[in-house]
Structure 1
Amino acid sequence: MESNFEREDGWPTFTKKGWSAAEYDADAGSADITAEQLGRLLALVDATKAKGLHVTEITRDEFYDPELSEVFVKWVRAFKDGPGLLVLRGFPVRDRPLEDIWRMYWGIGAHFGIGVSQDTHGKLMGTVAVQPGMVGARVYGTSDMAPLHADRIDILALLCINKAKAGGENVFVNALKVWEIIEAERPDVLALLKRGYPAHRNFEEPEGCSPVTPYRVPVFGEVGNLRSCYFGGNAMLVHQESRFAEILKDADREALNFLDSVVNRPELQLHQMLQPGEAVFINNMEMMHSRTAFEDGEGPFDKRLLLRLWLQGRPCRPIPQDMRVIHNPDGNLGIWPKAAVQAA
C-alpha cells in the first residue's frame, strides 16, 4: 500500500471558535498511544536506524506504516481542526535511549509538518533545559518564568523527558478567544491590533535584512475564514516602548494595555503540567504559551528537560503576509542560519 497523506495536509476552511479554560475540550485535545501503536512506532524507529538515517533525515515517507495511517490522520486533524493543542501521551522515555525517543518524536512530528531551524546555528533538534552561559540568554535556557508569547512558526512541539523538582507548569491562552472578547468589548482596539505594530527581529534576521520589520506586524488577521493571531513583540507594550516609543500614540498604548489585560484574565489561562512521556503540539497562530519558574533537583530525573520541535505546516499556514516577522531567502519558516554563527 502506497503512502497517502492527502487527509493530513491542509488547514481549516471554517472560522474556528475560541475557548476559555473552562470551555477547553480535553478529550478533543489529547490522545494516548496504545501498546499496539507503540510497537509499530518503535519498529519504525528501528527501521530508520537500520537504514543509517540521522534523526533529521527521517521523513514521513520513512516513518510510515499503513496500519498507523488512520492514527496519524486522527492526530493531525485533531490538532488542526480542534482546540489548537494536542497532548500525546505514551512516549517510552524511561524504557528506550534518548536517541530512540528523538527518532519516534521526529517521525511523528514529520506527519504534522517539516522541521525547521530554531536558532541562528541552524539547530533542528532543540531542548528546553537550564543551560548556563547560553549565548543570547534565551528564556528556554533558564529556569525563569517565561511570559505569554507565541513563537515565529506554525507549530511548536514539546516532549517532556524530565519534570523539574518544583514548578515548570505550562500555561496556555487561546488567542482566538482573546480576539472574540476584544471584538465584543472594544472593536476600536481590535482595529488597531489588526493594523499591528513593528517588531524587532532579535538579530535573527537573514544577512542583509533590517533588524526591524519595515512593516507593521498584525496581532490579528485572517485569510478567507481562517483567523490567525501572532503574539510577539508586536503585541507587547514593553517591547514597543523600548524600541518604538516615538511612533506610539495614546490610543496605541491603551490598545496594548487592554490586550494585556484580556490575555491575563485568569479564566482564559489553561494550566497544564507535562508529565514524562507526554508531548504537546501547539498551534502558534491560535495559541499563546508561557511557563512558570522552576527549580531543578539533584537527581537524574529531577532536572527539567523537554525536547522541542519547530514545524512548518503542510502547506505553510495561510496568514497575512505581514504577520511573518522573518522572510527567509528560501521561503521556508524558522530562523535562517548565519555563516558566522555556524563557524563559531
Structure 2
Amino acid sequence: MTETLQQPYTGPSAWTRAQMEADKSWIYTLSPAEVAEIRAAVAVARGTGKPLEAITREDFPLATLPRRLDALGEELENGRGFEMWRGLPVDEWSIEERSVAYWGLGLYLGTAVVQNARGELFGHVRDTTAGADPQTNANTRFYHTNRAAPFHVDGADIVGLMCVRTAKAGGASLVVSSTSIYNALLRDHPDVIPLLYQPLWFDHRGERNAVTGKPYWVTSICGWTHGKLSMMYLRNFIESAQRYEGAPPLTEGHRRLLDLIDHYAESPELCLSMAFLPGDIQWLNNHVTLHSRTEFTDWEEEDKKRWLMRLWLNRHERNRFTETYGYYGIAPDAR
C-alpha cells in the first residue's frame, strides 16, 4: 500500500474541460516539413525488409522530430497527460505505410508491450463482433464492438490511438483527468477516499496473467507515491472479477465509489470530448487520464468502416516511471 493523499492534487494533470477548451495547445499539427520527414523515415524502414515489429528506432531515422517527441513525452509524463497530433496523410498511404509511420513514431516514446493473450504489439480498434455486449459477456472487449465504452485505462504507461477512418456517426473520443476526479471525490465525498487505496480483484476477461497464470490480478484503484497520484480504473473488470471463487465481495461502499467515479468522469465539469479525424493520433498517459468513446453507427461498406490503430507503450525510462507511479496506475501483471 502507498500513502494516502489527503489534499487536492495540484499538478498540471489536474485539468478541467473548460481549461482545455480555452487552451487548445494540446492539439499539435504536424508541419509539411515534419510530414516529409516521416515519409522519408517510412521509406528507410520499409527498405530494410523487416517485419513491422522488428523495425527499430535506428531503422526509422528522424532529423528534427525527436526533439518534438521528447517534448511530447515530457508533456505526457509531467504535464497535462495527453496530446493530440494531427496531420498524418493516412489517406495517401498504404496499410503498410500507415503502420510503419505509427510504429516508428512510437519507438521514440517508449517500448511496445503486448495488448492481449495473442501477443499482439500492434492493435486495431474495429467493430468485429456484430453487436456483442461486453456488459453481459465478460470475455468480450469494447474495442471490438460499436458500443459506448466505459471510462478506463489501458495496460501500459502510454496508449496511442491513430485514426485511419471515422464512423458514419458517433464514436467521439472522451478524455478526463483522473487526478481531477480524485480532487472532486476529496472535495465532495472524502469518506470514499480510503476505498481508493484498498486492493481489489481485476478480471483479465478471458485471458490469463502471464506471470501468475490466474484469470485476475490484484491492485488498488489509486496510488500516491513520490509526489505523483495515479489511478487504475476499469469498472467492468472489477465487477466481472466477482465471478471468481475467493474474490472479496464488493460492498455497497465500493459500488458507491464506482458510481461516483463514473459520475465525475462523465460530468460537464471534467469530461473533454474530441472528434477524431483521419491522421490524428491521440497520446494518453494511463496513470493520470481515463478515456472512453461514445457509441457509433458504422458504414455498411467494409472499406469505409471505423478503424483506429493502437499502441501500448512503456516509457524507455522505465525505472523512473516505476519510481514515479509505484506501478499503481498500471499493475505490472495487468498486461
Q: What TM-score bracket applies, with the shorter chain setting the length?
A: 0.7 to 0.9
Are 2:171 and 1:168 aligned? yes
Question: Which residue of the partner structure matches residue 320 of structure 1?
Answer: 326
Cα deviation code 1:169-220 (max 9, x no counterpart):
111111010011112222221121122422222233126522233x4x2211
Question: SS of the residue aligned with 1:61?
Answer: helix
What is the CA RMSD across the aligned residues, in angstroms?
Answer: 2.6
Are 2:104 and 1:101 aligned? no
Are 2:208 and 1:204 aligned? yes
Distance 1:242 1:263, change over 3 A: farther
Q: Among 265, 268, 286, which residue is 1:266 paired with?
A: 268
Q: Among 80, 83, 86, which residue is 1:83 paired with?
A: 80
Distance 1:109 1:204, change over 3 A: same
Contact 2:286 2:329 in 1 (8 A): no
Contact 1:199 1:325 in 2 (8 A): no
**Please, what TM-score do these two structures have when normalized by structure 1?**
0.82
Distance 1:302 1:65, change over 3 A: closer
Question: Which residue of the partner structure matches residue 278 of structure 2?
Answer: 276
User: Structure 1 residue 20: deviation in Å?
Assistant: 1.5
Distance 1:41 1:90, change over 3 A: same
Distance 1:77 1:302, change over 3 A: same
Question: SS of the residue aligned with 2:273?
Answer: strand
Question: SS of the residue aligned with 1:179?
Answer: helix
Distance 2:326 2:237 in 1: 16
Contact 1:163 1:301 in 2 (8 A): no
Contact 2:81 2:285 in 1 (8 A): yes
**Please, what TM-score do these two structures have when normalized by structure 2?**
0.84
Distance 1:40 1:323, change over 3 A: closer
Q: What one-letter code is carried by the residue in structure 1 that aligns with 2:208?
A: E
Question: SS of the residue aligned with 1:88?
Answer: strand
Distance 1:165 1:79 in 2: 31
Could you tell which deviates more after superposition, 25-34 or 219-228? 25-34
Q: What one-letter code is carried by the residue in structure 2 that aligns with 1:178?
A: I
Question: Which residue of the partner structure matches residue 66 of structure 2?
Answer: 69
Question: SS of the residue aligned with 2:43?
Answer: helix
Q: What one-letter code is carried by the residue in structure 2 that aligns with 1:205?
A: N
Are 2:28 and 1:19 aligned? no
Query: Structure 2 unaligned runs (5+)?
Result: 1-9
Distance 1:205 1:167, change over 3 A: same
Could you tell which deviates more after superposition, 190-199 or 165-174? 190-199
Distance 1:28 1:79, change over 3 A: farther
Cα deviation code 1:147-179 (max 9, x no counterpart):
111112111111111111111111111101001
User: Structure 1 residue 37: deviation in Å?
Assistant: 1.0
Contact 2:216 2:241 in 1 (8 A): no
Distance 1:323 1:283 in 2: 10
Question: SS of the residue aligned with 1:204?
Answer: coil
Contact 2:161 2:309 in 1 (8 A): yes
Distance 2:39 2:248 in 1: 56
Question: Which residue of the partner structure matches residue 196 of structure 2?
Answer: 193
Question: Which residue of the partner structure matches residue 157 of structure 1?
Answer: 160
Q: What one-letter code is carried by the residue in structure 2 that aligns with 1:289?
A: H
Distance 2:104 2:55 in 1: 6
Give aligned-pair identity as a percent: 26
Question: Which residue of the partner structure matches residue 177 of structure 1?
Answer: 180
Distance 1:128 1:250 in 2: 34
Are 2:51 and 1:54 aligned? yes
Distance 1:143 1:77, change over 3 A: same
Could you tell which deviates more after superposition, 127-136 or 272-281? 127-136
Distance 1:298 1:240 in 2: 36
Distance 2:328 2:158 in 1: 18
Distance 1:17 1:273, change over 3 A: closer
Cα deviation code 1:41-71 (max 9, x no counterpart):
1111111111212221222233233333322
Distance 2:248 2:69 in 1: 49
Are 2:42 and 1:33 aligned? no
Query: Structure 1 unaligned runs (5+)?
Result: 1-13, 328-333, 336-344
Distance 1:40 1:323 in 2: 34
Contact 1:197 1:235 in 2 (8 A): no
Question: SS of the residue aligned with 1:267?
Answer: coil
Could you tell which deviates more after superposition, 57-66 or 98-107? 57-66
Question: Which residue of the partner structure matches residue 3 of structure 2?
Answer: none
Q: Among 228, 231, 243, which residue is 2:230 paired with?
A: 228
Q: What one-letter code is carried by the residue in structure 1 that aligns with 2:202?
A: A
